[in-house]
Amino acid sequence: MADPMAASMAAAGPPPVVVVRKESSPGIATAGFVLVLVGLFVPLVGLVGFILSILGYRQAKREGLPTGLGLAGIIIGAIAVSSEASVDMGLLLQAWC
């Protein structure tokens, strides 16, 4: 005798294919985060990374994607840019006096 469950499965056809899309941060946010990290050691690169992180964060928020890298780039970039600016101001004041 034939198995009734096998017959019903054969009649139903193959199981449906489910495509799972892994959402990740936008590339601009990733680039901004990396540039901010490099900017901790190289002047002015941090400023570019800070700006890219802001743009990437806004894009991720608008598209409903993860915002972690963009937010981390903004926080680290703000610290890096402000510390760089304070060092530059100190050097300018020292040279002026």
pLDDT tens-digit series, residues 20-72: 667 788 899 999 999 999 999 987 899 999 999 999 999 999 999 999 999 99
Residue-wise burial string across 50-76, b where 16 or more C-beta atoms lie within 10 A, e elsewhere:
bbbbbbbbebbeeeebebebbbbbbeb
pTM over 0.85: no
Spatial distance between the Cα atoms of 37 and 34, rounded to a whole number of angstroms: 5
